[in-house]
Amino acid sequence: MELKYYIIRRLLVLIPTLLGLLLLTFILLDALPKSFLIEQFVNHKLPIPAQNLEKQQAITTLGLNLSPPEQFLIYVNNLIHGNWGFMYPNSEGYGSYYSGPVLAGIMEYFPVTLEIAIFAVIFSIVIAIPLGTYIGSKPNSVSDQVGRVFSLSGYAMPTFFLALVLQIAINPYFPSFISGQGYPSYTHLSWIKSISGTEVSTPTHMLVFDSLLHGDFSLAAVAFGHLVLPVLALSYGFLAGLLRFIRAGMVDASNQEYVKTARAKGVPEKQVLRKHVRKNALLPSITVFGLVFSGLLGGAVVIEEVYDLNGLGRFGLSTVSGGYIQFFGILGTTLFFGIVLVMANLIVDVLYALMDPRIRY
């Protein structure tokens, strides 16, 4: 089967997967009391007549007076048109620090999470491939044992604990590495805009990349410095998992007959490892990349709260804090994370097929 047909098949498989995800979130939505859902659309700071009008609009928007199948169709239609609900403070003023459409809030805060994830993935890959290759080529050696301890500690250590340890240990010596401290004032820059009271860069909303795009290298260096500790804390578990799989793949590939034949022919060991062993050892690591990527997104919730970063993880956490539950914010964040994971697994499948032409399932 040609690669393009394989990709088409994987895209078609996405349809029932996404429908299942939508159905699951709809069931959670439908299980809530109708009065609670209506209240999610009401801004309690408005006068009573205006609140009553918003309640009627919520009934129509959600189709609460219709049958469940019709409600599901309306729910899917609202999602397609970007109507993922609203987030308001309650009557006492408590609730999320964000107020407005849920999808707009997700799009505003997700770039920060994506920026951290990008650097965490790059850092992990750059470290894991050469290190995994080295310890995998020397099984049961001292370096291999050290690598195993490193991997197991990465699995066992909670992300929040490592984040706090790094913050406490580094802060006295490098205070500029602590997010939320030491940022210069950049409100005078034309490409910095205020959205919902939060200053964000344009066009990507990722300060490091936007600074580079606009040629402000000093601000890019400062912004990157503030990401060092979050990236280290977030990537440790990902790096440990990737290192373990690369090491296992190296050991397995080294025992294959084609590797033994290459060595018997006198091919230099470095060339054997580089051209024959490592290439095949990386294949199993790609298959788990999507699963490990979910750990990055989950860890971002804690990392962003510890280091005071306004990312999607903190946005999602704010929907259940402050004494007022923003259910549409919870549902929207859950749905968005689900879509991101589904797309990540699709990319992993395509990459796996590109690296191993035998894979066509």
pLDDT above 50: residue 36:
yes
Whether 246 contacts 129, CB under 8 Å: yes
DSSP per-residue string spanning 144-174: HHHHHHHHHHHHHS-HHHHHHHHHHHHTTT-
Local structure of 192: helix, strand or coil: strand
Contact 73, 62 (CB under 8 A): no
Q: 33: which 2 tokens?
A: 């009391």
Confidence grade of residue 125 (pLDDT, cut at 50, 70, 90): confident
Please give the pLDDT value at position 182: 44
- The whole-number pLDDT of residue 104 equals 87
Highest mean pLDDT: which range of 20-29, 61-70, 177-186, 188-197: 20-29
In the chain, DSSP assigns E strands to 86-87, 100-101, 192-195, 198-201
In the chain, the N- to C-terminal Cα span, in Å, equals 9
pLDDT of residue 16: 92
Which residues lie below 8 Å from residue 272, measured CB to CB, with a gap of 6+?
Answer: 259, 262, 263
pLDDT at residue 141 tops 60: yes
Residue 324: the pLDDT is 67
Name the pLDDT band for 176 (thresholds 50, 70, 90). low
Q: Which residues pair with 87 in a beta bridge?
A: 100
| Owner of token pair 């990737």 | 242
CATH superfamily of 100-355: MetI-like (1.10.3720.10)
The helix (H) or strand (E) run that includes residue 87 is strand 86-87
In sequence order, the 6+-apart residues with CB closer than 8 A to the CB of 103 are 82, 83, 84, 332
Name the residue with tokens 């098949």. Answer: 9
Q: How many helices (H) and strands (E) does the chain have?
A: 15, 4
Pick the residue with more confidence: 217 or 295? 217
Contacts of residue 48, Cβ cutoff 8 Å, sequence gap at least 6: none
Residue 239 CA to residue 123 CA, distance in Å, equals: 8
Say whether pLDDT at 49 is over 80.
yes
Number of neighbouring beta carbons within 10 Å of residue 315:
28
Beta bridge partners of 200: 193
Percent of the chain predicted with pLDDT > 70: 88
pLDDT at 280 (0 to 100): 80
Question: Which two structure tokens, joined as six digits, stand for 305?
Answer: 């709260």
Which residues, in sequence order, are CB contacts of 97 under 8 Å at separation 6+?
Answer: 197, 318
pLDDT exceeds 50 at position 91: no
Average pLDDT over residues 119-128: 88
**Rounded Cα distance, 160 and 304, in Å:** 10
Q: Give the residue extent of every domain in the chain.
A: 100-355
Rounded CA Rg of the chain: 24
Any idea what the Cα angle at residue 16 is, between residues 10 and 18, rounded to 5°?
90
Tell me if 89 sits within 8 A of 325, measured CB to CB.
Answer: no
Q: What is the dihedral of CA 242, 247, 252, 256, to 10 degrees?
A: 110
Distance CA 15, CA 38 (A): 30
pTM given for the model: 0.84
Cα–Cα–Cα angle for 124, 128, 133, rounded to 5 degrees: 165
User: Which is nearest to 290 in space by CA: 145, 121, 135, 173?
Assistant: 121
